[in-house]
Amino acid sequence: MLHKILILTILGVLSLYGALPPKVQYKKDKLAVDLFLNQHKNIKVVTTDIDYDRHIIYFADNCRIYFKRQKIDRPPTWVGPAAPLIYSHSTCNINDYYTLEYVEKYPFSKIFFEFDSFKLRDKEKKKIKKIAKVLKAIDENIKFIRITGHTDAFGTDDINTAKGLKYADIVKNYLLSLGVNKEKVYIMSHGETDPLCQEDTVECHNKNRRVEIKVIW
């Protein structure tokens, strides 16, 4: 009788501390990843995807954060719940992504246009979506957002000033459609007067035909 009680007690303990069902373990791991993001809001606002199965956060421009199981001393025959997930490493320095600086440091603060076109290309729209996410996250810290249009050297000063203003207005309207605070956004144009480069090449003209977004704190 005592032997049976002992066996039942052992079985009860094993069932209590056995491995968690996959769905329960998944939720527990997901919670750990989400908690990390909530504690690192500078990363959260630039996160592009999360792979909860592989425990990877994708953020900014092809950066990744990896998680690992916490190292806990356990007997070789351990069959209990998996160790908690903890931060392992990142392919980029997560301290480089403080949101108050991120907008100006990251390349998506420049939006480029094709020659003689006022249409936003898909890759430029993706940039604007990222920057909108950041701007909304730090809205309370922003005094205003200056959107400046720049052109290449083709055309008269008046035409290029108007064209730069049109570029800026297109980017502004797209930002507003994504929920950026319209009370803090204003546009201006420098036309062709502030080029990034001055060579008479297609590549240089493409660089100069742009909109720059600057946040004023």
Please give the pLDDT value at position 16: 47
Protein fold of 99-216: 60s Ribosomal Protein L30; Chain: A; (3.30.1330)
| Helix boundaries (H) for 45-195 | 99-105, 122-137, 157-177
Please give the pLDDT value at position 100: 53
Please give the pLDDT value at position 11: 39
Give the start-to-end residue ranges of the domains of the chain: 17-96, 99-216
Collect the ranges in the chain with pLDDT lower than 50: 4-16
pTM of the predicted protein model: 0.60
Please give the pLDDT value at position 7: 43
Question: 124: closest CA among 114, 138, 137?
Answer: 114
